[in-house]
Amino acid sequence: MTASLKEPTRRVKALDLSTGEVTIKQIPLSQMVFPSQPVSELTCGQISRLTKLYQKVGYLIDETLELWIKDFRYEFQPDREIQIWEEMATVFEKYNKTHPLSFAQRRDVLNRLIQIVGGEEPKDPVSRELVKLFKQEQASRFFIRPHKPQASWGNIDSAMFASIYREYVKRHPVGIHENIDELFVTLMRLMEGKTPASELGQELLKIWEDLQQAKEQDFNPDDIKDERQKRKRAVVNRPGQKKFKHQLMKAYGGCCSITGCSVEAVLNAAHIIPYLGTKTDHPSNGLLLRVDIHKLFDIHYLSINPKTNRVEMADVLKNTSYWELIGQPLRLPKSKTERPNHNALSKHYQVFESR
């Protein structure tokens, strides 16, 4: 094994702030731009995990333990980065057990692991063997997949991120925000769902809400045309259903808006006004409901009083366990633009009352 390797790269999602387009690129680590100041605080548990990691593999990086730990404070998601290093350490130890290595060779193996996790394809026997060890670990427990792009974006709406950034810059003279890191960190945390406490965060939240309203406009139940795509045997195709559920999962924190159930497998994206095309896939025309509650809602055995935002039920549900939910207040999203549309709830409730 040779100790010389080309510079490690990382496969990342790169955001174009002018267009909001995200592309996957392979970037050398030396060319990546990191925050100029720490953006995350580490817990005692995370520091303990990093200390153990340093003893296993961290010492192979030319840094002291103190600097090694400090580096993770520059990550937007330090726990995810720590997990990646723990996974690399597991594979490293397995390889080292069957291949006694010198210090230089151990460093070489670590560099290869960094390249694999960064998304580079294995082109030599050592790298291919390391990938094989990764896959063995995947088979025995949840494990990061080699070649998967590593990035902070996750489920963040990158187009909206770029739009908020552009609108903020438009409202303020160039250079007025001296610390660009603070702008990016605050915006990232906001879009991850964190409640903004700073003045900057509040302004960014207001921009977000304004853009959301301008983009989607208020959901109007009185202005709907049937745009459903139909297949043979009158089966309705709902191309936006997955996105609609994702929006509601995010809006309601992954919990049923009536029962509080948080088991995603039994949660449905329910339409208040029945699905008639993309217009009805607006978050304010939706409720995140447990599958059985969704069924009761669709057949109008259950509805939401639009004046009180509380659950009401048909008499047919008396003497059932569902009756305990009567009067239950509806859980509402934090964002006003994602809360149930009052007019839509009223229309559903009118049908409920007429039965």
- pLDDT reported for residue 2: 42
Give me the percent of the chain exceeding a pLDDT of 70. 75
- Which is it for strands 267-271 and 286-290: parallel, antiparallel or unpaired? antiparallel
- pLDDT reported for residue 191: 76
- pLDDT reported for residue 39: 78
CA 179 to chain centroid: 26
pTM for the model stands at 0.48
Give kind and range of the element (H or E) at residue 52: helix 44-56
pLDDT less than 50: residues of the chain = 1-5, 142-153, 176, 230-239
What is the per-residue pLDDT across 213-266, written as a single tens digit (0 to 9) for each? 666 555 566 665 555 554 444 344 444 567 888 889 999 999 999 999 888 888
- pLDDT reported for residue 187: 85
The structural domains of the chain, with segments of one domain joined by +, span: 9-140, 158-216, 240-353
Exposed e or buried b for every residue in 249-278, given b needs 16+ CB within 10 A?
Answer: bbbbeebbbbbebeeeeebbbbbbbebbbe
- pLDDT reported for residue 290: 93
| Distance from C-alpha of 335 to C-alpha of 206, rounded to nearest angstrom | 10
- pLDDT reported for residue 7: 59
Tokens of 205: 């939240």
Report which residue type is found at 158. S
